Structure 1
Amino acid sequence: MNHTIETILNHRSIRKFTDDKLTEEQIHTLIQAAQQASSSSNVMAYTIIGVTDPFLKEELRKVSGQPYVENNGHLFVFCGDLHRISQLATREEQVQMQETLESTEQFIVTTIDAALSAQNLAIAAESMGLGICFLGSLRNDIYHVSELLRLPKYVIPLFGMAVGTPAHRPELKPRLPFEAVYHENKYQSFESQQTAISAYDIELQNYYQHRTSNTRTDTWTEQMIRKYQNTVRMDVSSYVKDQKLNKR
């Protein structure tokens, strides 16, 4: 097994960081790694905003409810971005481009491009001995985040990533078994996945009961049912359309 695969297989979310800030060299290296991710038709339909202003970090922490949004080595916000593409064109060309820019297909392109770049950055950071935590919680109040970051039309904040020197090393959380996520040639019935999922429920329950912090009794099945019974972040849909994405 090579070092890259070892780094990937040892990923864990870090939620406590030292006070050390990332250097400019580290930031540039991470952004370069992010930019080398694959991109649909070389559109590179994303922008990464580094947040260093103390007021902004405090406001984003309030949105998230997570202290590590404010207390980290560096905070990145990954945005889906078709604004840059729209501005390349003349006003007449923009009218001709509008239907494509506002399509579901291009919305998918922005989210995939941003996610691929973020995963590159995450692996690069962990290979440098840093820790990371993805922050979907910035969508708890997506309109306010958009206002704070002054995002123009065709730009949406998808998620954040806190990066820094780890101040703890949590246990490695188990993942769904191979048999549940890899299907050969066609989608396999839920019944064929059930044995693997039941085994994972037992494994995850054991993990929660024996980890060093925040112990609890829970299974993946119970978590997923609770999660999807709750309606959260329902304003994201209207926000995305207000930003002229995913309208068609």
Structure 2
Amino acid sequence: MVQTAESVSFKTAPEDPLLGLWRKRYRGGQPPAGIEWNETIETLLSHRTVRSYLPQPLPNGAIELAVSAAQSAPSSSNLQAWNVIAVEDPALKSRLNILAGNQRHIEQAPLLLVWLADLSRLRHVAMGRHLTSDGLDYLESFLLGALDAALAAQNAVVAFESLGLGACYIGAIRNHPEKVAAELGLPPEVFAVFGMTVGVPDPRVATGVKPRLPQRAVLHRNRYTATEPADLQAYDRTLRAFQTEQAMPSIDWSEQAGKRIATAQALNNRDRLRQALTTLGFTLK
């Protein structure tokens, strides 16, 4: 069969998936040579915070699968000094939302996870073996629990996103630590590090991949180097363009970050965190 000009279709080469993801995250540049796309990299680089959810439950088994991913994260000395509470009861979630500043996505999400740094379990393990547990009285142990919880939670986010779900971290769960502990029945030496909403993303609310600082601002070779002012100015422009695309209020990143740390009041009650931790039973030597 002789093909005419009309019957011949010319196809352009598809864009490298990794290149597309890279340019969304950095708004330009090239991924490192020799690295090929895979589904894990796609899930990670496609991350976006989701604050709008459909009114439907999570698929059966999604929580358990995410927790298995969380438990697959590294744990310092395998102490596993963390727990997570799945809050699905609407009344409890509503009370926690009040403590977290009445955020619409907490009310809307079918699931709120509260991630905990837990030294209580280790204290009881030592007691059961008739051992001392003086090491738990130091700041290092609290930091260990908080880091373990964060590593576990991020693994869970990746698992949820691989299932097509969306999530949003809730730092405001630390606004009133004692009241959150009372709502959740936390024993001494257990602290709610952050919350996390999870749900099916509402496709009517477009959420873009938020650009990050250029790698040269965060990746250092052998020795720390200060971020160049020009890089910060360029990132301010990049983020403003993203805000315009997303119909968000326009503000430079450097101004927003500066205001967030300007005063104790800007911490939204978290300036009294050491006092709250002492009240919750942590010694923090």
Q: TM-score, normalised by structure 1?
A: 0.92
Q: CA deviation at 1:25?
A: 1.2
Gaps of 5+ in 2: 1-36
Q: Number of paired residues? A: 242
Larger Rg: 2
Distance 2:59 2:43 in 1: 22
Q: Which of structure 1's runs of 4+ aligned residues deviate more than 3 A?
A: 91-94
Distance 1:246 1:127, change over 3 A: farther
Q: Which letter maps to 2:231?
A: A
Aligned to 1:53: 89
Aligned to 1:220: 253
The answer on whether the counterparts of 1:60 and 1:70 sit within 8 Å (CA) in structure 2 is no
Q: TM-score, normalised by structure 2?
A: 0.81
Aligned to 1:38: 74
Q: CA deviation at 1:10?
A: 0.8
CA RMSD of aligned residues (A): 1.6
Distance 1:222 1:57 in 2: 33
1:237 is the counterpart of 2:274:
yes
Q: CA deviation at 1:235?
A: 2.3
SS in 2 for 1:234: helix
1:156 is the counterpart of 2:191:
yes
Aligned to 2:25: none
Q: CA deviation at 1:91?
A: 7.6
Aligned to 2:137: 102
The answer on whether the counterparts of 2:178 and 2:280 sit within 8 Å (CA) in structure 1 is no
Q: CA deviation at 1:51?
A: 0.6
Distance 2:143 2:42 in 1: 30
Which of 36, 44, 61 is 1:25 aligned to? 61
Q: CA deviation at 1:92?
A: 9.1
Write the deviation string for residues 89-140 of structure 1: whole angstroms up to 9, x where unpaired. Answer: 338946x31x311211111110110000000000000000000001101112
Write the deviation string for residues 3-38 of structure 1: whole angstroms up to 9, x where unpaired. Answer: 111111111110011111124411111111111001
Q: Which letter maps to 2:196?
A: M
Distance 1:55 1:216 in 2: 32
SS in 1 for 2:61: helix
Matches within 5 A, 1:52-131: 52-64=88-100, 65-90=102-127, 93=130, 96-97=132-133, 99-131=134-166
Aligned to 1:173: 210
Distance 1:126 1:92, change over 3 A: closer
Aligned to 1:189: 226
Q: RCO higher in 1 or 2 (8 Å CA, sep ≥ 6)?
A: 1
Aligned to 1:134: 169
Aligned to 2:29: none
Matched-pair identity in %: 35
